[in-house]
Amino acid sequence: MNRLKSFLRPYRSLTPDGGISFTLVIVLSVVAAFMAANIYYNQPLLDVIRQEMHTSEVAANFVTVVAQVGYALALFFVIPLGDFMTIYFIFGAMDTMLSGLAWNWMGWTGLGCLS
């Protein structure tokens, strides 16, 4: 638990000489690799998606296009936010957006009556 608290606090992972620790470099490398690979996970499934959704090959391939364009837009717009906003503000904004999406999803699926 102490390790998690120290990871979440800003600048706690800096070494005495001002650099980041080797463990943090490894963690960030693994996270970056999974995020980059995430946009390619759907490609082997495109034929299954096409058959199950009864769509054309072009429409099924659009899934990959949207994933890659979304990744590029996130790199272009979201990453620079870290230069002039605190991590707590960014997480708060993301939490608010995801809560709104979950609220709307519950309304769209009819699950809103359960709450």
- pLDDT, position 32: 87
Query: What pTM, to 2 d.p., does this model score?
Result: 0.52
Amino acid occupying residue 74: A
Of 102, 103, 78, 101, nearest to 91 by C-alpha is: 78
* Burial of 42: CB neighbours in 10 Å, binned 0-12, 13-18, 19+: middle
Question: Three-class SS of residue 20?
Answer: strand
CA distance 33 to 27: 10
Domains of the chain, by residue range, sit at 2-85, 86-115
Look up residue 57 and give its two tokens: 């090959």
Q: Which residue's entry shows tokens 């997480």?
A: 91
Question: Around 32, how many Cα atoms within 13 Å sit in the side-chain half-sphere?
Answer: 8
pLDDT at 20: 77
What pLDDT shows up at residue 80?
81
C-alpha–C-alpha distance, residues 52 and 11, integer Å? 48
Strand partners, 70: none
pLDDT reported for residue 15: 61
Q: Which residues of the chain have pLDDT under 70?
A: 1-16, 18, 105-115
